[in-house]
Amino acid sequence: MAYQIERPSPCLVVVSATVPSAEVQEEREHILSGVARRAAVPGFRPGKAPRHLVERRYADDIRQEVEEHLLRHTWQAVREGEKLRPATPLGVKEVSWKDDGSVELSGEFEVFPQVELPGLEGFTPPPFDLAPTVEEMDKALDALLDRQSTWEPVEDTAVAEGMLVEAEVWGAFPDGEREPFHEERSLFVVGAHEVFPEIEAAVLDHKPGDEVTAQRQVSHGEGEEQHQDTVDYRVAVRSLRRKRRPELGDDFAASLGLEGGLAALRERVGVDLAQQKQRARFERWREALLEHLSGGRLLDLPGTPVEEDTRKEIMDFARSLAERGIDPEKASLDWEKVGAELRTRVETRMRAELLMDALADALDVTVDEPEVNREVQRQAARMGVPFAEVRGNLLKSGGLGRVAAMMRREKAAEQVLRPFLESSGG
Query: Does a structural domain hold residue 290?
Result: no
53 and 183 assigned to the same domain: no
Query: Does a structural domain hold residue 210?
Result: yes
Instruction: Identify whether the C-beta of residue 233 lies closer than 8 Å to the C-beta of residue 241.
Output: no
Measuring CA to CA, which residue among 127, 117, 92 is closest to residue 106? 92
65 and 177 assigned to the same domain: no
In the listed set 85, 110, 135, which residue is the last one of a domain according to the structure?
110
Query: Does a structural domain hold residue 386?
Result: yes
Tell me the β-bridge partners of 112: none
Query: Does a structural domain hold residue 26?
Result: yes
State the DSSP string of 198-260. Answer: HHHHHHTT--TT-EEEEEEEEEESSGGG-EEEEEEEEEEEEEEEEEEPPPSSHHHHHHTT-SS
In the listed set 256, 282, 308, which residue is the last one of a domain according to the structure?
282
341 and 255 assigned to the same domain: no
Q: What is the CATH number of the domain that holds 160?
A: 3.10.50.30
105 and 6 assigned to the same domain: yes
> How far is it, in rounded angstroms, from Cα 74 to Cα 63?
16
Average pLDDT over residues 306-324: 91
- Residue 6, helix vs strand vs coil: strand
> How far is it, in rounded angstroms, from Cα 325 to Cα 204?
24
Residue 160, domain extent? 150-244
> How far is it, in rounded angstroms, from Cα 97 to Cα 383?
57
* Count of structural domains within the chain: 5
Lowest mean pLDDT among 183-197, 207-221, 404-418: 207-221
337 and 369 assigned to the same domain: no
Give the containing element (helix H, strand E) for 30. Answer: helix 21-38
252 and 142 assigned to the same domain: yes
225 and 89 assigned to the same domain: no
User: What's the mean pLDDT when you consider all of the chain?
Assistant: 90
Q: What is the pLDDT of residue 426?
A: 59
Percent helix, strand, coil in the chain, to 5, is 50, 20, 30
Report the b/e string of 179-200 with b at 16+ CB within 10 A: eeeeeeebebbbeeeebbeebb
Q: Is 359 exposed, middle or buried (0-12, 13-18, 19+ CB in 10 A)?
A: buried
> How far is it, in rounded angstroms, from Cα 245 to Cα 240?
16
321 and 223 assigned to the same domain: no
Query: Does a structural domain hold residue 292?
Result: no
128 and 270 assigned to the same domain: yes
Query: Does a structural domain hold residue 287?
Result: no
Query: Does a structural domain hold residue 105?
Result: yes
Q: pLDDT for 268-284, tens place per residue? A: 999 999 999 999 999 99
235 and 257 assigned to the same domain: no
Average pLDDT over residues 319-327: 81
Q: What is the pLDDT of residue 364?
A: 95
Query: Does a structural domain hold residue 199?
Result: yes
Q: pLDDT for 204-228, tens place per residue? A: 999 999 999 999 887 665 555 666 7
Q: What is the pLDDT of residue 47?
A: 74
On the question of pLDDT at 190 being above 80, the answer is: yes
On the question of pLDDT at 425 being above 70, the answer is: no
Measuring CA to CA, which residue among 145, 149, 325, 162 is closest to residue 240? 162
Residues 6+ apart with CB under 8 A from 352: 290
On the question of pLDDT at 251 being above 90, the answer is: yes
> How far is it, in rounded angstroms, from Cα 32 to Cα 399?
39
Q: What is the pLDDT of residue 89?
A: 92
What is the pTM assigned to this prediction? 0.73
> How far is it, in rounded angstroms, from Cα 403 to Cα 367?
10
33 and 16 assigned to the same domain: yes
91 and 7 assigned to the same domain: yes
Tell me the β-bridge partners of 235: 169, 212
> How far is it, in rounded angstroms, from Cα 177 to Cα 224?
19
Give the containing element (helix H, strand E) for 284. Answer: helix 261-294
Q: What percent of the chain has pLDDT over 70?
A: 96
> How far is it, in rounded angstroms, from Cα 9 to Cα 363?
29
- Residue 186, helix vs strand vs coil: strand
> How far is it, in rounded angstroms, from Cα 213 to Cα 198?
9
On the question of pLDDT at 423 being above 70, the answer is: yes
